[in-house]
Amino acid sequence: MTTTIDSGTVDNGVNVAHLLGARELITETPELGKFTWRATNTWLGGTHSRGEVEKFYGLSDEQSHTKKFTFDADHPPQFAAEDNGATPVEIVLVALGGCLTGGVASVAQQRGIQLRSVKATIEADHDIAGILGADPDVPNRFTDVRVKYEVDADASPEDIKALVAQSQKRSAVFDLLTNPTNVTVDVSAV
Amino acid sequence: MTTTIDSGTVDNGVNVAHLLGARELITETPELGKFTWRATNTWLGGTHSRGEVEKFYGLSDEQSHTKKFTFDADHPPQFAAEDNGATPVEIVLVALGGCLTGGVASVAQQRGIQLRSVKATIEADHDIAGILGADPDVPNRFTDVRVKYEVDADASPEDIKALVAQSQKRSAVFDLLTNPTNVTVDVSAV
């Protein structure tokens, strides 16, 4: 049974009016949409490092989060490391889940679908023979990534599927994983 | 001046003997190298969600970190959101830095290079006209990612560059960003 509610009566906590306003603004003035996201990474010893996120560029100006976010990365004891943080490959899965779920909430708000709960499990198959240099024919990256959503919402199963499909269609991290991006690495010896 | 030190006298906190042992083991028994990394994501309201990382599969068995790692993702106030966490796209940059830096430490240990400090800035250009649906010709993902390392180590600038290049060559997250990976998204309405 489809029980889609008028978007004025649902509240998923997303300010869709603002997002639609931003879309209009960026359509008129494309320069406003050109963002540069930033992170820093500092080695703390062994495979342990700390990532920090605070400033970014966008809307034709320097911008800042309201606070700095920090993320420790490390390897687990199974690799004789200290497990001071998740592995970088797990952090990629965290980013994918966060991106798709943020999209689900935004699209649900726009479509007038009240969400009750959204949960996802994200799994990635990874033959580590590549990164260890055990087999030159094995790539360093995952072979497959599987995301499984369980969504409880005031909508039919078909509308819920369409909701997640639309989030996937507009997801930056989904696109980053499924398509190639140019990455350059420069080094200064100090 | 090259001042490369014998690997027995340097200590970057990486157990290279263990990693080389793992490589030998996985070369002999490839099944041991087949890992499945996992994360969960739970919607908390608006674009705010929480990622959790704890269990994974590898070495032919279920494995666990020593603790659970949690990561909040959200959008910033510039998108009329509550800024309860970094954006998912920034979390991808965090993962890239963590992966390359862990690799730098590991390769330095293997090459007998004592590290003093390793810092990276990671920047990604992102035209958000794509994710906002403002321009169908703009992809959802970044256009370019730039990583800049500053490495202080007991080695020549050439050896330091080669060190970072080798980390890049074996980096899972670098490979994930620069090559396409298959991602499937399934949905259950509950």
Q: Could A180 and B178 be called an inter-chain contact, meaning their C-beta atoms sit closer than 8 Å?
A: yes
The answer to whether B167 and A43 have CB atoms below 8 angstroms apart is no
B115–A contact, CB cutoff 8 A = yes
Mean residue pLDDT of chain B comes to 95
pLDDT band at A162 (very low <50, low <70, confident <90, very high): very high
What the block records as the tokens of B73 is 């993702």
Is residue A2 predicted with pLDDT exceeding 90? Answer: no
pLDDT band at A3 (very low <50, low <70, confident <90, very high): very low
Q: Could B186 and A88 be called an inter-chain contact, meaning their C-beta atoms sit closer than 8 Å?
A: no
B13 to chain A nearest CA, in Å?
4
**Residue A4 has what pLDDT?**
45
**Residue A6 has what pLDDT?**
52
Question: Amino acid identity, residue A20?
Answer: L
Of B12, B139, B170, the CB nearest to A175: B139
C-alpha to C-alpha distance for B70 and A98, rounded to whole angstroms: 12
Residues 65 through 84 of chain B touching chain A, CB cutoff 8 Å: 65-67, 69, 71, 73-83
**Residue A8 has what pLDDT?**
61
What are A30-69's pLDDT values in tens digits? 999 999 999 999 999 999 999 999 999 999 999 999 999 9
Residues facing A39 on adjacent strands: B122
Of A22, A78, A171, the CB nearest to B59: A78
**Residue B4 has what pLDDT?**
45
Average pLDDT of span B46-56: 98
Q: Could B141 and A172 be called an inter-chain contact, meaning their C-beta atoms sit closer than 8 Å?
A: yes
Q: Could A39 and B90 be called an inter-chain contact, meaning their C-beta atoms sit closer than 8 Å?
A: yes
More confident residue, A9 or A175: A175
Q: Cβ neighbours of residue B165 under 8 Å, at least 6 residues apart?
A: A185, A187
Of A37, A153, A181, the CB nearest to B177: A181
What is the distance between the terminal CA atoms of chain B, rounded to a whole angstrom? 65
C-alpha to C-alpha distance for A71 and A59, rounded to whole angstroms: 26
What torsion, rounded to 10 degrees, do the Cα atoms A9, A13, A17, A19 define? -150
More confident residue, B6 or B65: B65
DSSP string across A133-180: TS-TTS-SS-SEEEEEEEEEESS-HHHHHHHHHHHHHT-HHHHHHHS-
Q: Could B94 and A93 be called an inter-chain contact, meaning their C-beta atoms sit closer than 8 Å?
A: no
pTM of the model: 0.96
B16–A contact, CB cutoff 8 A = no
What the block records as the tokens of B97 is 């830095």
Q: Could B189 and A36 be called an inter-chain contact, meaning their C-beta atoms sit closer than 8 Å?
A: no
The answer to whether A95 and B88 have CB atoms below 8 angstroms apart is yes
C-alpha to C-alpha distance for B125 and B47, rounded to whole angstroms: 22
Is residue A86 predicted with pLDDT exceeding 50? Answer: yes
The answer to whether B47 and A107 have CB atoms below 8 angstroms apart is no
Q: Could A95 and B99 be called an inter-chain contact, meaning their C-beta atoms sit closer than 8 Å?
A: no
What are B95-138's pLDDT values in tens digits? 999 999 999 999 999 999 999 999 999 999 999 999 999 999 99
pLDDT band at B9 (very low <50, low <70, confident <90, very high): confident
The pairing of strands B48-58 and B61-73 is antiparallel
The pairing of strands B115-127 and B144-153 is antiparallel
**Residue B5 has what pLDDT?**
47
Residue B86 with chain A: CB contacts under 8 Å: 53, 65, 69, 71
C-alpha to C-alpha distance for B130 and A123, rounded to whole angstroms: 26
A9 to chain B nearest CA, in Å?
15
B3–A contact, CB cutoff 8 A = no
pLDDT band at B6 (very low <50, low <70, confident <90, very high): low
